[in-house]
Amino acid sequence: MRIAVLATGGTIASRREPDGTLAVADSVAELLAHVPDLAGIDIRGFDLSCRPSFTLTLDDMLDTVRAVRTKLAEGFAGVVVTHGTDTLEEAAYLTSQLTGRDARVALTGAQRGADEPDSDAGRNLMDAIRVVTAAEPVGVAIVLGGVACAAVEGRKVHTSAVSAFSGGSAGALALVDHDGVLRLSASARGGHYADRPVPDRLPRVDLVKLVAGADDTHLRASLRAGAEGLVVEAFGAGNAPQSVAEAVRDADKRGVPVVITSRTGAGRVRPIYSGGGADLAQAGALFAGDLTGSQARVALALALAIDGPDAVPAALRNLVEGRRP
């Protein structure tokens, strides 16, 4: 079995500088130097970039997806992507929607630098390799801390713990350790655009989080800055004050879709409160089910780029519900 490891940088490839800060340093060859020879598995490494993930854009992540697709098309049985964890949620969601749901693709990273005594870098890389070489495909996954969760569901839930990622309400796909991969479930979402070309670029979609006393200032600033879509992390089940609803109405008139998520990070948003979510829906807002703000931002950008503005409502609904196009 031939496996490709695509390195993009991140903490998994970082080491301490003389001043105590972490900096990306290791190439894919250095990452793989700690992976033992595995019977029947041929691992090839490729350097895509050498950057911390907080510097990456969605268009940078599209380049990674293209590389994943290319390696699969070249006959590699599986692909592992090493990535910084700061924006792994966006990279994973993007990859999962542009790759077949059952593809042998795993994204991994680390919370501790490669030269720290208790680094999780080598363990996570080895676990990711275990996932893409498992007897039965696990599906496109995030693999960290001995757990594989669906890439389409994953979200970072801790700044520094080695078990920093969760599959949210969907839970885990598998447990991973030295004995192999124990499958627990299968993803019900993802792969929506697996048969479509990877877009050349994604449109600008801004994310605005509401706080007590918030008004329409940030939404209107995004519109003036040229955002082609907006995502609002609203209160509770998807509520916002009237000034926000007015900004949504103006955005809708301009043809700029506004998508509502919850700042709580769990549960579905629904337009059920008069003066809140119900008014947002009447103003033209779309509700993104249980997607996090960052997931909804990627979903909206993909829908705008691939389906076009007029098809965004149906595309977003299908992405949220896991329906095939």
Q: What is the mean pLDDT of residues 276-297?
A: 98
Digit-coded pLDDT (tens) for 231-275: 999 999 999 999 999 999 999 999 999 999 999 999 999 999 999
Residue 84 has pLDDT above 90, yes or no: yes
Same domain, 124 and 82: yes
Residue 321 has pLDDT above 80, yes or no: yes
The confidence score (pLDDT) of residue 280 equals 98
Strand, coil or helix: what is 254?
coil
Digit-coded pLDDT (tens) for 204-234: 999 999 999 999 999 999 999 999 999 999 9
Residue 325 has pLDDT above 80, yes or no: no
The confidence score (pLDDT) of residue 176 equals 96
Residue 286 has pLDDT above 80, yes or no: yes
Within a domain: 213: yes
Same domain, 156 and 58: yes
Same domain, 17 and 162: yes
- Catalytic residue numbers, as ranges: 11
The confidence score (pLDDT) of residue 38 equals 86
Within a domain: 291: yes
Residue 7 has pLDDT above 80, yes or no: yes
Instruction: State both tokens at 70.
Output: 């290319």
Average pLDDT over the chain, rounded to an integer:
96
pTM as predicted:
0.96
Same domain, 29 and 175: yes
Digit-coded pLDDT (tens) for 103-132: 999 999 999 999 999 999 999 999 999 999
- What's the CA gap between 124 and 111, in Å, rounded? 10
CB atoms within 10 A of CB 294: 18
- What's the CA gap between 186 and 183, in Å, rounded? 8
Within a domain: 39: yes
With tokens 């990711």, the residue in question is 128
Digit-coded pLDDT (tens) for 16-39: 999 999 999 999 999 999 898 888
Digit-coded pLDDT (tens) for 150-181: 999 999 999 999 999 999 999 999 999 999 99
DSSP string, 81-124: EE--STTHHHHHHHHHHSS-TT--EEEE--SS-TTSTT--HHHH
The CATH number linked to 50 is: 3.40.50.1170
Domain that holds residue 245: 205-321
CB atoms within 10 A of CB 23: 14
Same domain, 35 and 127: yes
Strand, coil or helix: what is 277?
helix
Instruction: State both tokens at 228.
Output: 């082609």
The CATH number linked to 267 is: 3.40.50.40
Phi and psi (nearest 5°) for 175? Answer: -100, 140
Total number of domains in the chain: 2
Domain boundary among 183, 214, 237: 183
